[in-house]
């Protein structure tokens, strides 16, 4: 995707200050540097150090040792292939691949990612040997093109393009038309007979080079890009509205004015020697790997700093030479819906990033056939050829020069979750890929989108009828979002940190500097840009609701409001006002609009939509059936209520892996007796309260067993510290005093009595059941009585009683014996038996280390990785937000260990417990029930260590099923 923004867009609009600007005394050109920015800067330094030490990390790849540049284009095979992404970056590898399969690619060469590592290791100097290789490659390009770099009468111009292993759209920098100076420009104008094109190219080059290499940036977020300001004046002076209408003279003047501005602002002369220009550009691209934007993007996407970027130097082709020239961006299928249709945009007489930067509104690709029929036909053929070759949806960039088509980039296209599922399933139907490949393709997390709400049709219809439909834009990110308007990304971020969840970021356009704020918002919309703009792309990647190109909006950032031109006149929307955006239809609605569940939810959970009328559901179901056939791990749900249990079954649960009984006590009629039980001073009073709880608990379990229809149900005995159940407000305390016949003072004293200095590590888990055995006894009784009741209804039942927080075998022995004797008593009373198991959670490090002993008693283990992570790190899950950002920016934690399992530490304990447990009992059943059970990377780990099942919250089940299938297919 061409890099929108980077302060390059050419119209007059406020630009965010680039993060890489220098700053003094905590201010950056007058703007306060947020703590986060400071953290980012420090992180960059740390990474500098790390990189400085890393050497030869990209070695051992397919490339030749010592070879620093790889040629592509022209006749003959390219030096590289698509397999060489690590060495050549994605862009370089695919340029080579496209050249190899005979597509028209302008010649050029790729400087490897290893050189990037060398560059950082050398204190940001290019290796000496590179120069000769670059000169040789340029000579080769000159032969293919028939022009000479720096030749005043026939100059070769090149682009210098970044390209890392993983695509990082717009994160790093690209420079076009390099090689121009006053002499070569004049020569080229003479040779081409097209001065307008030459000076258009020249002014673009000076602006890009000024920005990327010489550091010309807007001074603060409300400011305009300095080159845009000059350009805008020029347009006004010439009485034109779009830059393509500027005459050659005006463009030539711009070149001089841009250079003068650079000299004035950064005090540097614009380099005229093409090789000096080239060296500056290559260095700048390497340096852009470490800019704050790129650092942040890498962190969000778990891309290690050590990878480095490649640099591509490529002969220019020109889409800005006139009416038979164009430039464009396409997807071989619709990246939002996944529909198998050619999808894209182009601009006639334009260059580079004009399409995404929204200089002019781009045209739909379907109309290219009317303008440039020959090139369009070729593009359609290439679309087919690429999909057949890559067997994947491709995102392509092309330029047409005087009717001739050139391919400038291809890569696997980013897509929404909807599109991901649709493309994978349909490519199987089209026999392009296998089912296994389809399973590998879909990002498990993306399945979330299929479960996301849409607007309530009635609410939306009503809103429209009330005249609240404000505008229509392009639907770039599906889903429905309703929230408060915020205009600046940094402010969205700050509000989100304060807990504001419902934010809609509204901007003229977005740029890579905005990604943090975009991440913090429910959705975003822009006035400018098409389906391939930065906002659209980020939305697809982050799975956010998004509308772009909504040109009825105009922004007044200073007044913090936007004006919307509607059919009924002008509407002003202010910061903090509510709006709703429909990312399916592209519609913006004033005020709040209620949302409703998705197709999948309606078919599966609400059962008010027939599967045959739900195409999204059908594709989801197909993919899930393939996943179920492929996976080895079983999946269970964490659920405590019958409705949750039913939802779990609908989402594919094969059992309940964790029923937290404490949740049940907060239900109606239960918290009273529970509190009585807790404040009781004698066993007798406690038993009396427990007797009241018994029938209520029994009904809870019966409901769960019925909903699970014979699937195993793991019930955990009471786990949290008792004080959590007590009232903490005066009225609650008074009520409890009344109910127990105690004085308010007595109740308060009891509450104070139960207060612990560190409840998380206190009187909780099996410690409760050991100090108050009657609690475990009541719970066990409720479980077995319910099981026998439900079995009596003709339904199979299989309870698994799980003892929490065990750290020594003896704890489990005592609790297991109690459970078993209670079972015997109930079976004797009822004259009936049910099968059951008694096991334990492994969530205390000591339990993992003594798992061989514990397994003598336990019939199953379930890894409670929330507590296990907490205790392994000595960091409570609830307090992790305090350190997380700082730790991640310093690369101390790559990811939140409570979200994705820490393989090295917590994982090692799990592995040890698996081995020790199975050494004692080879058939020991093993599962996981922490939050990690619904995280794709953790599921993969569970598969690797040989667990029998993962258990997660119901709505994460589709993710777990797919992740389990992917793990099995690895
Ligand atoms: P990004 O990685 O941000 O997408 P690119 O390196 O792809 O940046 O460059 C952005 C755009 O610049 C390309 O899509 C293309 O339109 C234009 N461009 C790059 N190199 C050339 C070239 N050699 N000839 C013509 N246009 C080019
Ligand atoms: Mg590109
Ligand atoms: Mg626990």
- 380: nearest Cα among 371, 368, 391, 370: 368
**For residue 123, what are the contacts with CB-CB under 8 A and spacing of at least 6?**
52
**For residue 102, what are the contacts with CB-CB under 8 A and spacing of at least 6?**
none
Averaged pLDDT score across all residues of the chain: 89
Please tell me if the CB atom of residue 317 comes closer than 6 angstroms to any atom of ligand 1: yes
Q: 233 an active-site residue?
A: no
Please tell me if the CB atom of residue 168 comes closer than 6 angstroms to any atom of ligand 1: no
The whole-number average pLDDT for the span 461-479 is 88
Radius of gyration of the chain (CA): 32
From 1, 149, 159, 165, the mutation candidate for ligand 1 (largest count of ligand atoms within 8 A of CB) is 159
> Which H or E element spans position 159?
strand 158-164
Please tell me if the CB atom of residue 175 comes closer than 6 angstroms to any atom of ligand 1: no
| C-alpha distances out from residue 947 to 927, 938, 950, Å | 6, 12, 8
From 99, 176, 284, the mutation candidate for ligand 1 (largest count of ligand atoms within 8 A of CB) is 176
Rounded to 10 degrees, what is the CA torsion of 63, 67, 73, 76? -80
**What is the secondary structure of 697-718 as a DSSP string?**
HHHHHHHHHHHHTT-EEEEEPP
Question: Which ligand gives the minimal distance to the CA of 840?
Answer: 3
Look up residue 752 and give its two tokens.
């104070």
Please tell me if the CB atom of residue 316 comes closer than 6 angstroms to any atom of ligand 1: yes
Atom nearest to 108 CA in ligand 1: 23
Atom nearest to 158 CA in ligand 1: 23
pLDDT digits (tens, 9 = 90+) for 294-337: 888 887 777 888 899 999 999 999 999 999 999 999 999 999 88
The whole-number average pLDDT for the span 953-957 is 88
Kindly name the residue from 23, 224, 508, 534 that is annotated as catalytic. 534
Which residue, judged by its Cα, is nearest atom 8 of ligand 1? 2
Q: Calculate how far, in angstroms, residue 342's C-alpha sits from the geometric centre of ligand 2.
A: 18
| C-alpha distances out from residue 794 to 179, 184, 710, Å | 83, 90, 10
pLDDT digits (tens, 9 = 90+) for 544-591: 899 988 989 999 999 999 999 887 789 999 999 999 999 888 999 999
* Residues 163 and 92: beta-carbon distance below 8 Å: yes
Q: Out of 191-195, 445-449, 797-801, 848-852, pick the least confident.
A: 445-449
Atom nearest to 168 CA in ligand 1: 2
Q: Calculate how far, in angstroms, residue 329's C-alpha sits from the geometric centre of ligand 1.
A: 10
Please tell me if the CB atom of residue 288 comes closer than 6 angstroms to any atom of ligand 1: no
Alpha-carbon torsion (872, 875, 876, 877), positive or negative: negative
Asked if residue 38 has pLDDT above 90, the reply is no
Q: Calculate how far, in angstroms, residue 867's C-alpha sits from the geometric centre of ligand 3.
A: 5
Q: Select, from the ranges 53-62, 194-203, 442-451, the one with the highest average predicted confidence (pLDDT).
A: 194-203
Question: Which ligand gives the minimal distance to the CA of 865?
Answer: 3
| C-alpha distances out from residue 799 to 401, 830, 837, 923, Å | 72, 17, 7, 18
Alpha-carbon torsion (663, 666, 668, 672), positive or negative: positive
**Burial category of 865 from C-beta neighbours within 10 Å (exposed 0-12, middle 13-18, buried 19 and up):** buried
Question: Which ligand gives the minimal distance to the CA of 352?
Answer: 1
Question: Which ligand gives the minimal distance to the CA of 285?
Answer: 1
pLDDT for position 884: 82
Which residue, judged by its Cα, is nearest atom 26 of ligand 1? 352
Please tell me if the CB atom of residue 170 comes closer than 6 angstroms to any atom of ligand 1: yes
Q: Calculate how far, in angstroms, residue 291's C-alpha sits from the geometric centre of ligand 2.
A: 18
Q: 534 an active-site residue?
A: yes
> What are the residues whose beta carbon lies below 5 Å from ligand 3 (ion)?
843, 864, 867
Please tell me if the CB atom of residue 546 comes closer than 6 angstroms to any atom of ligand 1: no
Asked if residue 777 has pLDDT above 90, the reply is yes
The whole-number average pLDDT for the span 676-698 is 92
* CA atoms of 192 and 201, how far apart (whole Å): 13
The whole-number average pLDDT for the span 698-708 is 96
> Which H or E element spans position 841?
strand 837-842
Look up residue 287 and give its two tokens.
């340096």
pLDDT digits (tens, 9 = 90+) for 340-391: 999 999 999 999 888 877 677 889 999 999 999 999 999 999 999 999 999 9
Atom nearest to 314 CA in ligand 1: 23
Please tell me if the CB atom of residue 401 comes closer than 6 angstroms to any atom of ligand 1: no
**Burial category of 239 from C-beta neighbours within 10 Å (exposed 0-12, middle 13-18, buried 19 and up):** exposed
Kindly name the residue from 330, 929, 942, 952 that is annotated as catalytic. 929
Q: Out of 421-425, 525-529, 685-689, pick the least confident.
A: 525-529
Q: Calculate how far, in angstroms, residue 312's C-alpha sits from the geometric centre of ligand 1.
A: 10
pLDDT for position 475: 84
| C-alpha distances out from residue 933 to 148, 394, 626, 961, Å | 60, 33, 20, 10
Please tell me if the CB atom of residue 697 comes closer than 6 angstroms to any atom of ligand 1: no
pLDDT for position 27: 32
Asked if residue 461 has pLDDT above 90, the reply is no
Look up residue 629 and give its two tokens.
């056939």
Confidence of residue 10 (pLDDT cuts 50, 70, 90): very low
* Residues 939 and 964: beta-carbon distance below 8 Å: yes
Question: Where are the strands (E) in 5-94, listed by range?
Answer: 27-28, 31-32, 69-72
* CA atoms of 32 and 932, how far apart (whole Å): 38
pLDDT for position 168: 74
Confidence of residue 930 (pLDDT cuts 50, 70, 90): confident
Look up residue 147 and give its two tokens.
């022009």
Please tell me if the CB atom of residue 90 comes closer than 6 angstroms to any atom of ligand 1: no
**For residue 477, what are the contacts with CB-CB under 8 A and spacing of at least 6?**
336, 416, 523, 536, 539, 540, 543, 544, 545, 546, 547, 583
- 315: nearest Cα among 190, 154, 93: 154
3-state secondary structure of 900: coil
Q: Calculate how far, in angstroms, residue 163's C-alpha sits from the geometric centre of ligand 2.
A: 9
* CA atoms of 767 and 804, how far apart (whole Å): 9
Please tell me if the CB atom of residue 399 comes closer than 6 angstroms to any atom of ligand 1: yes
For the chain, give the percent of residues with pLDDT over 90: 71
Question: Which ligand gives the minimal distance to the CA of 347?
Answer: 1
Q: Calculate how far, in angstroms, residue 803's C-alpha sits from the geometric centre of ligand 1.
A: 60
| C-alpha distances out from residue 295 to 39, 541, 594, Å | 11, 17, 37
Side-by-side strand order, sheet with 578-582 = 469-472, 587-590, 578-582, 480-486, 503-507, 523-526, 545-548, 474-477
* Residues 616 and 599: beta-carbon distance below 8 Å: yes
Rounded to 10 degrees, what is the CA torsion of 171, 177, 181, 183? 180
The whole-number average pLDDT for the span 20-31 is 32
Alpha-carbon torsion (368, 374, 380, 382), positive or negative: negative
pLDDT for position 778: 97
Distance, C-alpha 791 to centroid of its chain: 46
**Owner of token pair 């022209």:** 74
Please tell me if the CB atom of residue 452 comes closer than 6 angstroms to any atom of ligand 1: no
């Amino acid at each position: 995707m061409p890099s929108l923004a980077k302060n390059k867009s050419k119209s007059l609009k406020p630009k965010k200050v680039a993060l890489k600007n220098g700053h003094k005394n905590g201010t950056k050109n007058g703007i306060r540097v947020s703590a986060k920015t400071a953290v980012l800067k420090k992180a960059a330094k740390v990474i500098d150090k790390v990189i400085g030490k890393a050497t030869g990390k990209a070695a051992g790849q397919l490339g030749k040792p010592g070879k620093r540049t790889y040629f592509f284009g022209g006749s003959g095979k390219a030096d590289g292939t698509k397999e060489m992404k690590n060495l050549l970056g994605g862009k370089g590898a695919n340029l080579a691949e496209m050249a190899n399969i005979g597509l028209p690619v302008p010649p050029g060469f790729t400087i490897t990612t290893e050189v990037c590592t060398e560059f950082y290791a050398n204190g940001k100097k290019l290796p000496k040997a590179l120069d000769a290789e670059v000169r040789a490659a340029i000579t080769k390009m000159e032969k293919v093109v028939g022009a000479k770099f720096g030749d005043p009468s026939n100059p070769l111009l090149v682009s210098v393009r970044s390209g890392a292993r993983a695509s990082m759209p717009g994160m790093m920098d690209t420079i076009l038309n390099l090689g121009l100076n006053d002499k070569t420009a004049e020569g080229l104008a003479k040779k081409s007979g097209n001065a307008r094109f030459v000076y258009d190219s020249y002014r673009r080059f000076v602006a890009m080079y000024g920005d990327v290499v010489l550091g010309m940036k807007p001074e603060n977020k409300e400011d305009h890009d300095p080159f845009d300001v000059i350009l805008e004046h020029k347009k006004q002076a010439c009485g034109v509205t779009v830059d393509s209408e500027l005459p050659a003279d005006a463009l030539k003047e711009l070149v001089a004015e841009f250079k003068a501005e650079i000299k004035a602002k950064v005090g540097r002369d614009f380099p005229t020697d093409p090789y000096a220009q080239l060296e500056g550009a290559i260095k700048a691209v390497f340096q852009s790997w470490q800019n704050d934007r790129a650092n942040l993007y890498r962190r969000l996407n778990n891309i290690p700093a050590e990878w480095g970027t490649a640099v591509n130097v490529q002969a220019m082709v020109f889409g800005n030479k006139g009416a038979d020239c164009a430039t464009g961006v396409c997807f071989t299928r619709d990246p939002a819906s996944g529909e198998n249709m050619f999808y894209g945009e182009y601009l006639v007489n334009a260059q580079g990033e004009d399409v995404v930067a929204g200089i002019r509104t781009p045209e739909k690709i379907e109309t290219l056939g009317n303008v440039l029929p020959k090139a369009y036909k070729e593009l359609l053929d290439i679309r087919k050829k690429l999909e057949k070759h890559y067997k994947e949806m491709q995102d392509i960039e092309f330029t047409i020069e005087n009717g001739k088509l050139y391919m400038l980039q291809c890569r696997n296209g980013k897509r929404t979750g909807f599109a991901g599922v649709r493309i994978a399933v349909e490519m199987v139907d089209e026999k392009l890929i296998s089912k296994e490949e389809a399973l590998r393709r879909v990002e498990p997390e993306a399945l979330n989108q299929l479960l996301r709400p849409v607007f309530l049709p009635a609410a939306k219809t009503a809103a429209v009828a009330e005249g609240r439909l404000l505008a229509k834009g392009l639907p770039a990110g599906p889903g429905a979002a309703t929230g408060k308007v915020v205009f600046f990304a940094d402010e969205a971020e700050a509000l989100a940190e304060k807990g504001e969840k419902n934010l809609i970021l509204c901007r003229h356009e977005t740029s890579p500097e905005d990604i943090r704020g975009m991440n913090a918002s429910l959705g975003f919309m822009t006035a400018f840009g098409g389906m391939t703009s930065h906002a659209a792309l980020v939305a697809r990647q982050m799975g956010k609701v998004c509308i772009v190109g909504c040109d009825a909006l105009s922004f007044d950032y200073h007044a913090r409001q936007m004006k919307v031109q509607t059919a009924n006149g002008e509407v002003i929307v202010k910061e903090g006002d509510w709006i709703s955006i429909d990312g399916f239809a592209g519609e913006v609605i004033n005020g709040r609009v209620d949302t409703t569940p998705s197709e999948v939810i309606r078919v599966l959970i609400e059962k008010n939509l027939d599967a045959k009328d739900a195409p999204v559901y059908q594709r989801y179901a197909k993919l899930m059936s393939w996943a179920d056939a492929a996976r080895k791990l079983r999946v269970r749900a964490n659920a405590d209520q019958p409705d949750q249990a039913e939802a779990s079954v609908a989402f594919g649960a094969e059992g309940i892996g964790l029923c937290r009984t404490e949740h049940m006590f907060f239900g109606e009629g239960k918290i009273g007796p529970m509190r009585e039980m807790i404040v009781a001073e004698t066993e007798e009073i406690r038993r009396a309260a427990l007797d009241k709880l018994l029938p209520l608990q029994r009904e809870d379990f019966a409901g769960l067993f019925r909903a699970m229809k014979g699937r195993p149900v793991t019930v955990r005995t009471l786990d949290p510290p008792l004080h959590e159940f007590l009232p903490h407000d005066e009225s609650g305390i008074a009520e409890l005093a009344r109910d127990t016949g105690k004085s308010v003072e007595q109740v308060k004293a009891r509450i104070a009595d139960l207060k612990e200095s560190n409840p998380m590590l206190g009187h909780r888990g099996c410690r409760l059941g050991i100090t108050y055995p009657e609690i475990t006894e009541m719970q066990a009784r409720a479980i077995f009585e319910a099981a026998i009741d439900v079995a009596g209804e003709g339904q199979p039942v299989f309870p698994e009683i799980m003892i929490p927080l065990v750290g020594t075998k003896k704890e489990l022995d005592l609790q297991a014996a109690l459970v078993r004797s209670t079972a015997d008593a109930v079976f004797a009373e009822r004259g009936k038996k049910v099968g059951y198991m008694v096991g334990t959670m492994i969530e205390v490090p000591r339990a993992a280390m003594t798992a061989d002993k514990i397994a003598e008693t336990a019939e199953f283990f379930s890894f409670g990785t929330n507590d296990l992570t907490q205790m392994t790190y000595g960091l409570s899950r609830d307090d992790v937000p305090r350190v997380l950002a700082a730790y991640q920016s310093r690369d101390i934690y790559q990811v939140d260990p409570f979200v994705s399992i820490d393989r090295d530490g917590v994982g090692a304990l799990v592995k040890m417990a698996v081995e020790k447990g199975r050494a004692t009992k080879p058939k020991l059943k093993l599962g996981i029930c922490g939050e990690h059970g619904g995280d794709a990377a953790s599921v993969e780990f569970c598969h690797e260590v040989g667990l029998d099942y993962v258990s997660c919250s119901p709505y994460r089940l589709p993710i777990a099923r797919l992740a389990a299938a992917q793990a099995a297919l690895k």
